[in-house]
Amino acid sequence: MPTIVAGEVTLHYEESGRGAPVVLIPGTGARGRTWWLHQVPALVAAGYRAITLDNRGAGRSGPVGPSLTVADLVADAAALIEEVAGGPCRLVGTSMGSLIIQELLLVRPELASRAVLIASRARPDPMSLALAAAERQLADSGVKLPRAYDAATRALQNLSPRTLADPAVVQDWLDILELSPTTWNDPGLRAQMDAALDTDRRPAYAGIGVPALVLSFADDLVAPPARGRELAAAIPGAVYEEIAGAGHYGYLERPEAVNEAILRFLAA
């Protein structure tokens, strides 16, 4: 089990391939292994060395204390890049993982050569703030949701109407989601919920000088394309691309289109 120590935290990572390093950072509560189903094989086949991180509070990384901040997660990612990737590299993130990379591009730009920001935004809006607050309240309530209910609501929130309209495909998703329910009482997940975007970062992101691709999904309810376009507009020279027929889980829902966009940008 490969690990590094960053301050008081042990960080678990996995890697595959021998080429130029690409560090992939997952979203809230997700493990680095979520990248291994589709993105890691594509990157390795293209000649890259793929390195996936379990953020503190998820997977095998920890422990996580109270008052976790985005700055803490940025420091963890920087430590991984320095100690495992060996210096500046290509970065790929989704959702919270993209937020971590966005902030890293401001404070440690020398560690990144290119960045792919998937399903992200530069500012909150009333719906994103309401959803974040509601999920924190649910986690703090101690209520245990039935697995079937958790799976159904996650499918509605994170998948596209195209997927939801296909009986066989959506049943596969429901089965998968029910086998991996949200652990609302997990202290790591609860800590990561506090490391959220709660201010408008567009003025700050005007200072990013690293080439960036902002990749949004047309049916994303969590990070809508309008927020992705704002993010791309805020970063000088950023490229914006939108993938149809995918929701917030688009990197899993339409992996071929996502992988094509990532590889095209990383090779540019």
Q: Which of 61, 76, 95, 98 is catalytic?
A: 95
Q: What secondary structure letter does DSSP report for 110?
A: G
Q: What secondary structure letter does DSSP report for 83?
A: I
2, two tokens: 């490969």
How far, in whole angstroms, is CA 231 from its chain's centroid? 15
Q: Which of 54, 76, 150, 220 is catalytic?
A: 220
Residue 197 backbone dihedrals phi, psi, to 5 degrees: -80, 115
- Residue 215's beta-bridge partner residues? 118, 241
Burial of 212 (0-12, 13-18, 19+ CB in 10 A): buried
Per-residue DSSP letters for 161-175?
HHHHT-HHHHHHHHH
- The helix-helix angle for 167-179 and 147-158 (nearest 10°) equals 130
Q: Is there a catalytic annotation at residue 38?
A: no
What amino acid occupies position 140? D
Q: Which of 54, 72, 98, 248 is catalytic?
A: 248
With beta carbons less than 8 A apart as the criterion, state whether 241 and 254 touch. no
Q: Can you give the length of the chain in residues?
A: 268
Q: Is there a catalytic annotation at residue 220?
A: yes
**Residues labelled catalytic:** 95, 220, 248
